[in-house]
Structure 1
Amino acid sequence: MDNTKRKVALQRRLPNLQKQVRELAVLCDVPACLVVYCPGEARPVVWPSPEAASEVVRRYRGLPDSEKFKSQLDGIDLLEQRNDKVRAKLAKVQQQCHDKETELVLLDFLTGRRKSFDDLPADLVASVESRVQNKLQAIKLRLQELRSGATPTLSPQPPPTSVGTSPVGTSPDSVNSSSTSK
Protein backbone atom coordinates (compact mmCIF):
# COMPACT_ATOMS: atom_id res chain seq x y z
CA MET A 1 0.00 0.00 0.00
CA ASP A 2 1.50 3.32 -0.95
CA ASN A 3 1.66 6.39 1.29
CA THR A 4 -1.16 8.19 -0.51
CA LYS A 5 -3.58 5.33 0.08
CA ARG A 6 -2.50 5.09 3.72
CA LYS A 7 -3.08 8.80 4.24
CA VAL A 8 -6.55 8.58 2.65
CA ALA A 9 -7.39 5.55 4.82
CA LEU A 10 -6.24 7.41 7.94
CA GLN A 11 -8.30 10.49 7.08
CA ARG A 12 -11.33 8.29 6.46
CA ARG A 13 -10.97 6.19 9.63
CA LEU A 14 -9.87 8.87 12.07
CA PRO A 15 -13.39 10.31 12.64
CA ASN A 16 -14.70 6.80 13.36
CA LEU A 17 -11.88 6.21 15.83
CA GLN A 18 -12.67 9.49 17.59
CA LYS A 19 -16.34 8.51 17.75
CA GLN A 20 -15.49 5.12 19.28
CA VAL A 21 -13.27 6.69 21.94
CA ARG A 22 -16.02 9.20 22.76
CA GLU A 23 -18.61 6.39 23.03
CA LEU A 24 -16.30 4.36 25.27
CA ALA A 25 -15.78 7.34 27.56
CA VAL A 26 -19.51 8.06 27.78
CA LEU A 27 -20.82 4.49 28.04
CA CYS A 28 -18.26 3.38 30.61
CA ASP A 29 -18.03 6.73 32.38
CA VAL A 30 -14.25 6.71 32.20
CA PRO A 31 -11.75 9.37 31.22
CA ALA A 32 -10.32 8.63 27.79
CA CYS A 33 -8.29 10.44 25.19
CA LEU A 34 -6.95 9.93 21.72
CA VAL A 35 -3.66 11.25 20.37
CA VAL A 36 -2.81 10.50 16.74
CA TYR A 37 0.27 11.79 14.95
CA CYS A 38 -0.61 12.02 11.26
CA PRO A 39 2.32 11.88 8.82
CA GLY A 40 3.18 15.26 7.40
CA GLU A 41 1.22 17.14 10.09
CA ALA A 42 2.96 19.45 12.56
CA ARG A 43 0.46 18.87 15.40
CA PRO A 44 -1.25 15.65 16.49
CA VAL A 45 -5.00 15.10 16.38
CA VAL A 46 -6.10 15.20 20.02
CA TRP A 47 -9.51 14.28 21.43
CA PRO A 48 -11.33 15.65 23.44
CA SER A 49 -8.87 18.50 23.98
CA PRO A 50 -5.14 18.86 24.64
CA GLU A 51 -5.82 19.74 28.30
CA ALA A 52 -8.10 16.73 28.89
CA ALA A 53 -5.67 14.41 27.12
CA SER A 54 -2.79 15.77 29.22
CA GLU A 55 -4.77 15.04 32.39
CA VAL A 56 -5.46 11.42 31.34
CA VAL A 57 -1.81 10.88 30.46
CA ARG A 58 -0.72 12.52 33.74
CA ARG A 59 -2.99 10.17 35.71
CA TYR A 60 -1.60 7.16 33.84
CA ARG A 61 2.00 8.18 34.41
CA GLY A 62 1.26 8.68 38.11
CA LEU A 63 0.31 5.03 38.54
CA PRO A 64 2.89 2.63 39.97
CA ASP A 65 4.45 0.33 37.35
CA SER A 66 2.70 -2.70 38.87
CA GLU A 67 -0.67 -1.08 38.12
CA LYS A 68 0.32 0.11 34.65
CA PHE A 69 1.44 -3.27 33.41
CA LYS A 70 -0.74 -5.72 35.35
CA SER A 71 -3.20 -6.32 32.49
CA GLN A 72 -0.76 -5.72 29.68
CA LEU A 73 0.02 -8.80 27.63
CA ASP A 74 2.89 -9.26 25.27
CA GLY A 75 2.48 -11.40 22.16
CA ILE A 76 3.50 -14.62 23.87
CA ASP A 77 1.22 -14.08 26.88
CA LEU A 78 -1.70 -13.29 24.58
CA LEU A 79 -1.14 -16.45 22.54
CA GLU A 80 -0.79 -18.56 25.70
CA GLN A 81 -4.03 -17.13 27.04
CA ARG A 82 -5.82 -17.93 23.78
CA ASN A 83 -4.32 -21.42 23.71
CA ASP A 84 -5.53 -22.07 27.25
CA LYS A 85 -9.06 -21.07 26.26
CA VAL A 86 -8.96 -23.27 23.17
CA ARG A 87 -7.60 -26.20 25.19
CA ALA A 88 -10.41 -25.81 27.73
CA LYS A 89 -12.99 -25.75 24.94
CA LEU A 90 -11.42 -28.80 23.32
CA ALA A 91 -11.46 -30.73 26.60
CA LYS A 92 -15.12 -29.89 27.09
CA VAL A 93 -16.04 -31.03 23.58
CA GLN A 94 -14.00 -34.21 23.98
CA GLN A 95 -15.83 -34.98 27.23
CA GLN A 96 -19.19 -34.38 25.55
CA CYS A 97 -18.22 -36.71 22.68
CA HIS A 98 -17.10 -39.37 25.15
CA ASP A 99 -20.38 -39.06 27.06
CA LYS A 100 -22.41 -39.38 23.83
CA GLU A 101 -20.36 -42.38 22.74
CA THR A 102 -20.99 -44.01 26.12
CA GLU A 103 -24.72 -43.39 25.77
CA LEU A 104 -24.74 -44.87 22.26
CA VAL A 105 -22.89 -48.01 23.34
CA LEU A 106 -25.29 -48.46 26.25
CA LEU A 107 -28.30 -47.90 24.00
CA ASP A 108 -26.95 -50.40 21.44
CA PHE A 109 -26.57 -52.98 24.18
CA LEU A 110 -30.04 -52.36 25.61
CA THR A 111 -31.69 -52.59 22.19
CA GLY A 112 -29.84 -55.79 21.30
CA ARG A 113 -27.62 -54.37 18.57
CA ARG A 114 -24.51 -55.10 20.65
CA LYS A 115 -23.92 -58.48 22.29
CA SER A 116 -20.65 -57.79 24.12
CA PHE A 117 -18.16 -55.10 25.04
CA ASP A 118 -15.07 -57.09 24.05
CA ASP A 119 -14.24 -54.93 21.02
CA LEU A 120 -14.39 -51.62 22.92
CA PRO A 121 -11.48 -49.67 24.43
CA ALA A 122 -11.03 -50.09 28.18
CA ASP A 123 -11.84 -46.47 28.97
CA LEU A 124 -15.18 -46.73 27.13
CA VAL A 125 -16.05 -49.96 28.94
CA ALA A 126 -15.24 -48.24 32.24
CA SER A 127 -17.50 -45.32 31.29
CA VAL A 128 -20.36 -47.65 30.42
CA GLU A 129 -19.85 -49.52 33.70
CA SER A 130 -19.85 -46.26 35.63
CA ARG A 131 -22.99 -45.06 33.88
CA VAL A 132 -24.76 -48.37 34.63
CA GLN A 133 -23.68 -48.20 38.28
CA ASN A 134 -25.02 -44.63 38.56
CA LYS A 135 -28.33 -45.63 37.02
CA LEU A 136 -28.64 -48.65 39.30
CA GLN A 137 -27.93 -46.46 42.33
CA ALA A 138 -30.60 -43.99 41.22
CA ILE A 139 -33.08 -46.85 40.77
CA LYS A 140 -32.28 -48.23 44.23
CA LEU A 141 -32.79 -44.81 45.81
CA ARG A 142 -36.10 -44.36 44.02
CA LEU A 143 -37.26 -47.81 45.09
CA GLN A 144 -36.40 -46.97 48.69
CA GLU A 145 -38.42 -43.77 48.41
CA LEU A 146 -41.38 -45.63 47.02
CA ARG A 147 -41.16 -48.43 49.62
CA SER A 148 -40.84 -46.02 52.52
CA GLY A 149 -44.10 -44.40 51.46
CA ALA A 150 -45.87 -47.70 50.75
CA THR A 151 -49.18 -46.41 52.09
CA PRO A 152 -49.38 -42.91 50.78
CA THR A 153 -52.18 -40.82 52.08
CA LEU A 154 -54.39 -39.68 49.27
CA SER A 155 -55.86 -36.27 49.67
CA PRO A 156 -59.47 -36.08 48.57
CA GLN A 157 -59.92 -34.42 45.22
CA PRO A 158 -62.10 -31.33 45.15
CA PRO A 159 -65.38 -31.70 43.32
CA PRO A 160 -65.54 -30.26 39.81
CA THR A 161 -66.36 -26.58 39.87
CA SER A 162 -68.41 -26.60 36.69
CA VAL A 163 -69.67 -28.91 34.01
CA GLY A 164 -67.02 -30.07 31.58
CA THR A 165 -64.03 -29.62 33.90
CA SER A 166 -62.02 -32.44 35.35
CA PRO A 167 -60.35 -32.85 38.74
CA VAL A 168 -56.92 -31.26 39.14
CA GLY A 169 -54.08 -33.33 37.69
CA THR A 170 -56.22 -35.32 35.27
CA SER A 171 -57.29 -34.66 31.76
CA PRO A 172 -60.87 -35.10 30.57
CA ASP A 173 -59.71 -38.06 28.44
CA SER A 174 -58.22 -39.87 31.42
CA VAL A 175 -61.39 -39.31 33.43
CA ASN A 176 -63.56 -40.59 30.59
CA SER A 177 -61.34 -43.61 29.92
CA SER A 178 -61.29 -44.56 33.60
CA SER A 179 -65.05 -44.32 33.88
CA THR A 180 -65.62 -46.40 30.73
CA SER A 181 -63.15 -49.09 31.72
CA LYS A 182 -64.97 -49.86 34.97
Structure 2
Amino acid sequence: MLKKIEELSTLCGVEACAIVYSSFDQEPQIWPSESGVKNVVEKFRAMPEWKKHKMGNQESVMEKSIVKGKRKITKLEEENKEMEITMFVFQCLDKTRVQPPHNMTLPDLNLLSSVIEQKLNDISRRLDFTDVTDIVDTNLKL
Protein backbone atom coordinates (compact mmCIF):
# COMPACT_ATOMS: atom_id res chain seq x y z
CA MET A 1 0.00 0.00 0.00
CA LEU A 2 2.82 2.39 0.83
CA LYS A 3 4.37 1.73 -2.58
CA LYS A 4 1.07 2.68 -4.29
CA ILE A 5 0.82 5.90 -2.29
CA GLU A 6 4.38 6.74 -3.30
CA GLU A 7 3.53 6.07 -6.97
CA LEU A 8 0.36 8.17 -6.72
CA SER A 9 2.31 11.03 -5.19
CA THR A 10 5.02 10.84 -7.86
CA LEU A 11 2.75 10.34 -10.89
CA CYS A 12 0.16 12.95 -9.91
CA GLY A 13 2.52 15.44 -8.35
CA VAL A 14 0.57 15.59 -5.09
CA GLU A 15 1.68 15.61 -1.52
CA ALA A 16 0.60 12.47 0.29
CA CYS A 17 1.37 10.61 3.46
CA ALA A 18 0.35 7.39 5.13
CA ILE A 19 0.32 5.88 8.57
CA VAL A 20 -0.44 2.15 8.58
CA TYR A 21 -1.07 0.24 11.78
CA SER A 22 -0.72 -3.52 11.71
CA SER A 23 -1.46 -6.16 14.31
CA PHE A 24 1.85 -7.77 13.34
CA ASP A 25 4.06 -4.75 14.10
CA GLN A 26 4.29 -2.76 17.31
CA GLU A 27 5.18 0.44 15.47
CA PRO A 28 3.12 1.86 12.58
CA GLN A 29 4.61 2.10 9.12
CA ILE A 30 4.99 5.73 8.07
CA TRP A 31 5.48 7.16 4.58
CA PRO A 32 7.37 9.21 3.48
CA SER A 33 8.80 10.01 6.92
CA GLU A 34 7.57 11.23 10.27
CA SER A 35 8.44 14.82 9.35
CA GLY A 36 6.76 14.36 5.92
CA VAL A 37 3.55 13.19 7.60
CA LYS A 38 3.65 16.13 10.04
CA ASN A 39 4.13 18.53 7.12
CA VAL A 40 1.12 17.17 5.16
CA VAL A 41 -1.11 17.07 8.27
CA GLU A 42 -0.18 20.66 9.19
CA LYS A 43 -1.01 21.85 5.66
CA PHE A 44 -4.38 20.11 5.90
CA ARG A 45 -5.11 21.60 9.34
CA ALA A 46 -4.19 25.06 8.06
CA MET A 47 -6.81 24.88 5.31
CA PRO A 48 -10.01 26.89 5.85
CA GLU A 49 -13.02 24.81 6.93
CA TRP A 50 -14.98 25.59 3.75
CA LYS A 51 -12.15 24.11 1.67
CA LYS A 52 -12.08 20.95 3.79
CA HIS A 53 -15.83 20.49 3.31
CA LYS A 54 -15.48 21.15 -0.40
CA MET A 55 -13.02 18.25 -0.59
CA GLY A 56 -15.77 16.01 0.73
CA ASN A 57 -15.58 12.55 2.08
CA GLN A 58 -16.15 9.17 0.52
CA GLU A 59 -19.85 9.15 1.44
CA SER A 60 -20.59 12.52 -0.19
CA VAL A 61 -18.60 11.55 -3.28
CA MET A 62 -20.64 8.34 -3.59
CA GLU A 63 -23.91 10.22 -3.07
CA LYS A 64 -23.01 12.65 -5.86
CA SER A 65 -22.06 9.73 -8.08
CA ILE A 66 -25.40 8.02 -7.42
CA VAL A 67 -27.35 11.20 -8.21
CA LYS A 68 -25.36 11.66 -11.42
CA GLY A 69 -25.98 8.02 -12.37
CA LYS A 70 -29.73 8.37 -11.76
CA ARG A 71 -29.85 11.46 -13.97
CA LYS A 72 -28.02 9.58 -16.70
CA ILE A 73 -30.45 6.64 -16.44
CA THR A 74 -33.43 9.00 -16.69
CA LYS A 75 -31.94 10.69 -19.76
CA LEU A 76 -31.24 7.33 -21.43
CA GLU A 77 -34.78 6.13 -20.67
CA GLU A 78 -36.17 9.27 -22.31
CA GLU A 79 -33.93 8.81 -25.35
CA ASN A 80 -34.94 5.13 -25.64
CA LYS A 81 -38.63 6.05 -25.43
CA GLU A 82 -38.19 8.64 -28.17
CA MET A 83 -36.35 6.14 -30.39
CA GLU A 84 -39.12 3.57 -29.78
CA ILE A 85 -41.75 6.11 -30.81
CA THR A 86 -39.70 7.13 -33.86
CA MET A 87 -39.37 3.49 -34.92
CA PHE A 88 -43.14 3.12 -34.56
CA VAL A 89 -43.67 6.14 -36.83
CA PHE A 90 -41.38 4.66 -39.49
CA GLN A 91 -43.12 1.29 -39.23
CA CYS A 92 -46.43 3.05 -39.81
CA LEU A 93 -45.02 4.75 -42.90
CA ASP A 94 -43.51 1.51 -44.19
CA LYS A 95 -46.71 -0.43 -43.39
CA THR A 96 -44.64 -3.44 -42.35
CA ARG A 97 -45.71 -4.09 -38.83
CA VAL A 98 -47.96 -1.44 -37.41
CA GLN A 99 -48.18 -2.35 -33.78
CA PRO A 100 -48.03 0.39 -31.17
CA PRO A 101 -45.53 0.03 -28.37
CA HIS A 102 -46.94 -1.77 -25.36
CA ASN A 103 -48.91 0.24 -22.81
CA MET A 104 -48.77 3.64 -24.49
CA THR A 105 -49.63 6.34 -22.00
CA LEU A 106 -50.78 9.90 -22.53
CA PRO A 107 -47.18 11.21 -22.28
CA ASP A 108 -46.20 8.56 -24.86
CA LEU A 109 -48.93 9.78 -27.20
CA ASN A 110 -47.77 13.38 -26.68
CA LEU A 111 -44.24 12.29 -27.56
CA LEU A 112 -45.58 10.48 -30.64
CA SER A 113 -47.31 13.69 -31.68
CA SER A 114 -44.14 15.75 -31.23
CA VAL A 115 -42.03 13.19 -33.14
CA ILE A 116 -44.51 13.24 -36.03
CA GLU A 117 -44.51 17.04 -35.99
CA GLN A 118 -40.71 17.12 -35.95
CA LYS A 119 -40.49 14.70 -38.89
CA LEU A 120 -43.04 16.74 -40.87
CA ASN A 121 -41.02 19.90 -40.22
CA ASP A 122 -37.86 18.09 -41.40
CA ILE A 123 -39.64 17.03 -44.59
CA SER A 124 -40.94 20.55 -45.15
CA ARG A 125 -37.44 22.04 -44.74
CA ARG A 126 -36.01 19.51 -47.18
CA LEU A 127 -38.71 20.30 -49.72
CA ASP A 128 -38.06 24.03 -49.36
CA PHE A 129 -34.32 23.44 -49.77
CA THR A 130 -34.91 21.23 -52.81
CA ASP A 131 -37.12 23.91 -54.42
CA VAL A 132 -34.46 26.60 -53.86
CA THR A 133 -31.74 24.31 -55.25
CA ASP A 134 -33.82 23.57 -58.36
CA ILE A 135 -34.39 27.29 -58.96
CA VAL A 136 -30.68 28.06 -58.60
CA ASP A 137 -29.73 25.15 -60.91
CA THR A 138 -32.26 26.31 -63.54
CA ASN A 139 -30.94 29.90 -63.41
CA LEU A 140 -27.36 28.71 -63.75
CA LYS A 141 -28.22 26.74 -66.88
CA LEU A 142 -29.80 29.79 -68.50
Name structure 2 gaps, 5 residues minimum: none
Q: Which residue of 2 aligns with 1:48?
A: 32
TM-score normalised by the chain length of structure 1: 0.63
1:40 shift after superposition: 5.9
Match of 1:99 in 2: 82
| RMSD, aligned α-carbons | 2.6
- The 3-state SS of whatever aligns with 1:151 is helix
Report deviation, 1:90.
Answer: 1.9
Q: Name the structure where helix makes up a greater proportion of residues.
A: 2
| 1:90/1:116 CA distance change after superposition, 3 Å | closer
In structure 1, the gaps of 5 or more residues are: 1-16, 155-182
Kindly, what percent of the aligned residue pairs are identical? 24
Structure with higher Rg: it is 1
Higher-RCO chain (CA-CA 8 Å, sequence separation at least 6): 2
Query: Would the alpha carbon gap of residues 145 and 42 (structure 1) be closer, same or farther in structure 2, given more than 3 Å must change?
Result: same
What amino acid is aligned across from residue 79 of structure 2 in structure 1?
A: Q
Aligned pairs (5 A) from 1:27-176: 27-39=11-23, 41-73=25-57, 75=59, 77-78=60-61, 80-112=63-95, 113-114=97-98, 120-149=104-133, 150-152=135-137, 153=140
1:19 and 2:3 are equivalent in the alignment = yes
Distance 1:103 1:53, change over 3 A: same
Q: Counterpart amino acid of 1:80?
A: E
- For residues 103 and 35 of structure 1, the distance between their equivalents in structure 2, rounded to whole angstroms, comes to 58
